[in-house]
Amino acid sequence: TAVMDQCRRDHAGADFTLVLHNLNTASSIRITDISGKLVYQSEVLPAALNNCLQIQNTFENGLYFIEVLNENRSFFQKIVLQK
């Protein structure tokens, strides 16, 4: 089963929300830009998420890669952010 659905963004494009499913253990969320530079990292607990993680969009427009890592698996998704 999928760990992450498509991202949802607010109307102004200022924030986006990762919709996470079946996340049963503590996980690391990492976002890197197209050059591989780490631009966001967070350690999260399943109970704290309520299936959603809101991230303030302070990133430049462009292509980014989201990685969810935990002891059981890893999942990758690419997104394009535009303000």
- pLDDT (0 to 100) of residue 1: 39
pLDDT value of position 49:
58
Cα 72 to Cα 27, 41, 43, 54, distances in angstroms? 10, 19, 15, 23
For the chain, the maximum distance between any two Cα atoms, rounded to a whole number of angstroms, is: 35
Read off the pLDDT of residues 23-71 as tens digits, 9 standing for 90 and up. Answer: 778 889 999 999 999 999 988 877 665 677 778 878 888 999 999 888 8
pLDDT, average across residues 7-31? 73
pLDDT of residue 59: 86
Q: How confident is the model at residue 8 (pLDDT cuts 50, 70, 90)?
A: low
The pTM score is 0.77
Q: Is 35 exposed, middle or buried (0-12, 13-18, 19+ CB in 10 A)?
A: exposed
Q: Indicate if the pLDDT at residue 3 is higher than 80.
A: no
Question: Rounded to whole angstroms, how far apart are CA atoms 81 and 26?
Answer: 26
